[in-house]
Amino acid sequence: MAVTEWEWDETLYAGSAPYYAVGRMPYPPELAEAIGAELGLDGRGRLLDVGCGPGSLTLVLAPLFEAVVGVDADRGMVAEASRRAREAGVTTARWVHARAEELPPDLGTFRVATFAQSFHWMDRSAVAERVRGLLEPGGVWLHVGATTHQGVDGDDPLPRPRPPWDRINTLVAEYLGPVRRAGQSALPQGTRSGEDEVMRRAGYSGPTRFEVGGDRVVDRSVDQITAGVFSLSSSAPHLFGAELPGFEADLRRLLTEASDDGWFAERTRPIAVLIWRP
C-alpha cells in the first residue's frame, strides 16, 4: 500500500476484540493494590478508563471505585468489555462507544482517569484538555504503560522455548509489507512520543512514577500467541483480507515447529504507572 500520513480511522482494531483477553497477558493483581495504596483509594469516587479496549484494566481497578466508565472508539471492544464484565459479575461498570476526542458531556466527574496503551492513538492535546475538565478536585490522570502481548527479550534459560517473535514479525511483513500498518494507513516512524510535553502544556504537573510486577515466567500456548498477534493494530485480522486463513495457517505452522508440545514461556515486563495532576 502507499504510505500516507497516519490518521485515525475506525478500522484500527477491527476484529481484534475477541483476541485480546486470550492473547494479552493480564495485568498483575498487585497493580490494583499499588494504585490503591498510592492514591489512597477507599472504594469511593468514579473511574474513567479512556481507550478501555475489552476492559482489561477497567475490570482490574473496578473494586477500588463506586462506579467505573470505560470508553473506547471500537464498537467490538465495547461489546467485549461488556461481556467480560457480566462474566466477572461486575455490576458497577458502564461502557461507552465514543472517541476520546468526543467524550459525551453527560459522563460526570471522576476521581481518576486512566489511559493504558491508548493515549498515543489520540489527538493528545485535545484529549488532555477535555479530560482535565472531567476530573473532580484532587482527581488524577494515570498513564499505565505496558507491553502485554509479548514478554521480555533475552537468552536466559526458561523452562520452555520463547515464542519466535522475530520470525512472527517477519511473517507479518511478508503478508502486509515492511511498513507498520494501522487502520487504513501506515506508521513508517511508529507511534508518536513526547507525551510529557503534551501533558505539561495542557496544565498537568508531574509525573510521579512507579513500577509494578514484571519478572514472572508465564506459559503461553500456540492459541495464546496467535491471539496476541491478532490483538495488535499492526496485524489486526481485517488487514489480511482474503489472505487471513493462509496467514493464520502459516503462523500456527511456524509456532508448532518452534515448540515440541505447542507451549512457550515468557518473562513478563514491569508495568509503569505515571501519575499526572491538574
pLDDT per residue as tens digits for the range 62-71: 999 999 999 9
What digits encode the pLDDT tens for the residues 42-79?
Answer: 999 999 999 999 999 999 999 999 999 999 999 999 99
What integer pLDDT is reported at residue 175 of this predicted model?
A: 98
What integer pLDDT is reported at residue 1 of this predicted model?
A: 46
- Strand pairing of 271-277 and 135-145? antiparallel
The band of 21, judged by pLDDT with boundaries at 50, 70 and 90, is confident
Percent of the chain with pLDDT over 70: 98
User: Which is nearest to 195 in space by CA: 137, 140, 233, 145?
Assistant: 145
Residue 59 CA to residue 84 CA, distance in Å, equals: 9
- Strand pairing of 217-221 and 46-50? unpaired
What integer pLDDT is reported at residue 4 of this predicted model?
A: 52
Is residue 217 within 8 A of residue 159, CB to CB? The reply is yes
Mean pLDDT on 245-274: 96
Is residue 275 within 8 A of residue 142, CB to CB? The reply is yes
User: Which is nearest to 211 in space by CA: 20, 21, 23, 38?
Assistant: 38
What integer pLDDT is reported at residue 188 of this predicted model?
A: 79
Mean pLDDT on 19-26: 93
219 or 121: which leads in pLDDT: 219
Mean pLDDT on 71-97: 96
What integer pLDDT is reported at residue 3 of this predicted model?
A: 46
